Amino acid sequence: MSKTTKAFKKQAAKSQLVAQRATSPLVARQMMTLAEAFRAQAAVLKKNKKKK
């Protein structure tokens, strides 16, 4: 796993923690969406690396 993929996964984990702690439902939804986006980007990078 590349450093970039690890960084995206780490950011996703942080975003998810913030979402769980958020008191506002809007902020919680936005942070969960951000976490999903980070995980999706990490998956794309991993997939592209396997193709090489």
- List, as own/partner pairs, every contact residues 27-34 make where C-beta atoms lie below 8 angstroms and the sequence separation is at least 24, other chains included: none
Q: Which residues of 12-27 are buried (b: 16+ CB within 10 A; e: fewer)?
A: beebbebbeeeeeeee
> Domain limits at 10?
3-51
The pLDDT profile of the chain, 52 residues, written as one tens digit per residue, is: 678 899 999 999 999 999 999 999 999 999 999 999 999 999 999 888 877 6
pTM of the model: 0.85
Asked if residues 6 and 45 have their Cβ atoms less than 8 Å apart, the reply is no
In the block, which residue shows the tokens 């506002």?
A: 24
Q: How many domains does the chain have?
A: 1
Q: What is the pLDDT of residue 47?
A: 87
Distance CA 33, CA 28 (A): 9
Q: What is the pLDDT of residue 1?
A: 63
